[in-house]
Structure 1
Amino acid sequence: MFGRLEKVNIGEVHSQAKIIGTIVSVGGAMLMTLIKGPMLQLPWIKSNDGHAFSSAATHQYPIKGAIMITIGCFSWAAFIILQAITLKSYPAELSLTALICLVGTIEGCIVALAMEAGNAAVWSIHLDAKLLAAVYSGVICSGIAYYVQGMVMKTRGPVFVTAFSPLSMVVIAIFSSFILSEILYLGRVIGAIVIVIGLYLVLWGKSKDQTSSNQEIQTEGSNDLKMIPAIDETTKVSNQELVVLDLTSNKVTPTDEYV
């Protein structure tokens, strides 16, 4: 909104829906993170796995983690805005994705050299889950995701792209429950429902924005078409050649003057 990439009119209902939907989505994400509630007894979750996750949670650092996640959210928001601004002057999604990945690779290598100085074992490649995670994050999460993100951002704007970010928490909670047998609490389920409601409000507001912008384009086009006949008539009149009528000699003499 501050970068003039998104139009917001407080007096219109669809703009209010976008604002309220964004707040509701953020609230649902905080609800999933901070409030647990009673544990849901699901048949595919074993009790031993629950004790393992609870014991591992005692060694976590919630304050440091919250600070790092907040910094990451602001950095990601700045990256989205910068990508949207860049696409206006450089509308080539594929080459822009290649440049983003190249710069990210160079920066990652510099950070790895600084943090793992003298430890050559971290650069060894093995056919294991670490290699699969690196390839998947590079090809899918970076390459394909940035390209699709740029294409959607050109047509629908950065708000439409980032509106689906809280939905990733819902997908992660579902898959971690099935694949990793992670404990699912009632607070996370309620937070997921709140996120879906907020996402629906944002998408509804964006759809109304798209409809109103299309109507404005059609109105401007019809006004331009109405002006074309008037311009043609003016052109015809201005191109008419003047003649001089000589009554004494009964001759018509054309002149070189034009109206």
Structure 2
Amino acid sequence: MTWSIFFQIFVLALLGPVIDQNFYYVGLKYTGPTFACAMSNILPAMTFVMAVIFRMEKIELKKVRCQAKIFGTVVTVAGAMLMTLYKGPLMHLPWTNGHAQPSGGEAPGAAGVDPTAREWFLGSLFIIIATLAWASLFILQTHTIKKYTAQLSLTTLICFIGTIQAIAVTFIMERRVSVWTIGFDMNLLAAAYAGIVTSSIAYYVQGLVIQKTGPVFASAFSPLMMIIVAVMGSFILSEKIYLGAVLGAVVIVVGLYAVLWGKHKETQEQEADAKAALPVASKGPDGASVLQGAAAAAGDDDGMRSASNGRGAGSASAV
């Protein structure tokens, strides 16, 4: 491992476990889960813009596949925003009937949060910073895994260094000893789940997907968490599902299919170009093998240059 790779891993740990999670949790506290989840759905668009800036994605507006990727990214974000901001009438489902709606008619998780104007502004700013850090994590991780291909080792180093950084930040920001108290309650379960699932496993799987498809394709699936939360909340917690959630889910699926279709066409074009660049052997009239394609053309050019040099040398010796 070189110092350059170690520095990249250090920055990855700073972006993910430290900046992203801490700023997101503070923004969640100030604004509430509904707004925080909606704001996080700008991740695909932010990742796509950053990938274009760093030339990881090419914009060719004349090609349909590029138009599909742009359209799908915009539609996916719009669908996620629709799920959060538009409530609509209640959908009467068999498994949710007979259960009282929590929070006195408000959307689940929305009650209990009444921020002031200053807290709302700060919370919005913190969530935007967290989302920007998450998008930067996608971009930098794409660059790092090209040089450090051991995915499991990379994930371990990111989480380990991130833990050390988080401990240092806690010592600086928190002066109370009580924050280090660990009890066998829901707080411990939430912390363990966040560390094992949303950090360790998520970073590892995310790295595998980025290595094969790129950062834009991987981030395009992040708005699916809105659908997953709505479905799991309906079955497990008997939460109510409203028309806005159903319409938003449909829009998200349409956007994801557009992104997937555009990425599939791009992969097909890259494979076709790679095959066209390979030499193809065929037999000539005299039975000898003849190379065709770009490699054969390059060979012909080399042969012509060699013949020219030979003729020049022959002429010089004749003189």
Q: 1:139 aligns with which of 182, 196, 203?
A: 196
Structure 2: gaps (5+ residues): 1-51, 280-292, 308-316
Q: 1:204 aligns with which of 249, 261, 270?
A: 261
Length-normalised TM-score, structure 1: 0.80
Letter in 1 for 2:248: G
Length-normalised TM-score, structure 2: 0.66
For residue 154 of structure 1, report the CA deviation from its aligned partner.
1.5
> Counterpart of 2:62?
11
> Counterpart of 1:90?
148
> Counterpart of 2:138?
80
SS at match of 2:91: coil
> Counterpart of 1:168?
225
Structure 1: gaps (5+ residues): 238-256
Q: Distance in 2 between matches of 1:43 and 1:110?
A: 50
SS at match of 1:48: coil
Q: 1:49 to 1:110 in 2, by over 3 A?
A: farther
> Counterpart of 1:31?
82
Q: Distance in 2 between matches of 1:47 and 1:115?
A: 42
Q: Give the CA RMSD over aligned residues.
A: 2.9
Q: Distance in 2 between matches of 1:112 and 1:95?
A: 26
Q: Distance in 1 between matches of 2:92 and 2:232?
A: 16
Q: 1:207 to 1:184 in 2, by over 3 A?
A: same
Indicate if the aligned counterparts of 1:53 and 1:182 stay in contact, CA closer than 8 A.
no
Instruction: Give yes or no for the alignment of 1:70 onto 2:128.
Output: yes
Matches of residues 1-259 of structure 1 in structure 2 within 5 Å?
1-45=52-96, 46-52=98-104, 54=106, 57-61=110-114, 63-64=120-121, 65-120=123-178, 122-222=179-279, 223=293, 225-226=295-296
Q: Distance in 1 between matches of 2:251 and 2:114?
A: 26
Letter in 2 for 1:226: A
For residue 110 of structure 1, report the CA deviation from its aligned partner.
2.5
Deviations 1:198-250 (A, max 9, x none): 0000000000011100111111123355358759978x99xxxxxxxxxxxxx
Q: Which segment drifts farther, 8-17 or 172-181? A: 172-181
Indicate if the aligned counterparts of 1:44 and 1:181 stay in contact, CA closer than 8 A.
yes
For residue 144 of structure 1, report the CA deviation from its aligned partner.
2.0
Q: Which has the higher contact order (CA 8 A, sep 6+)?
A: 1
For residue 163 of structure 1, report the CA deviation from its aligned partner.
0.8
Q: 1:140 to 1:232 in 2, by over 3 A?
A: same
Q: Distance in 1 between matches of 2:78 and 2:230?
A: 16
For residue 127 of structure 1, report the CA deviation from its aligned partner.
3.2
SS at match of 1:125: coil
Letter in 1 for 2:72: G
Q: Rg bigger for which structure?
A: 1
For residue 168 of structure 1, report the CA deviation from its aligned partner.
1.2
Indicate if the aligned counterparts of 1:28 and 1:194 stay in contact, CA closer than 8 A.
yes
Q: 1:58 to 1:124 in 2, by over 3 A?
A: closer
* Identity of matched residues, %: 45
Q: Distance in 1 between matches of 2:112 and 2:272?
A: 56
> Counterpart of 2:18?
none
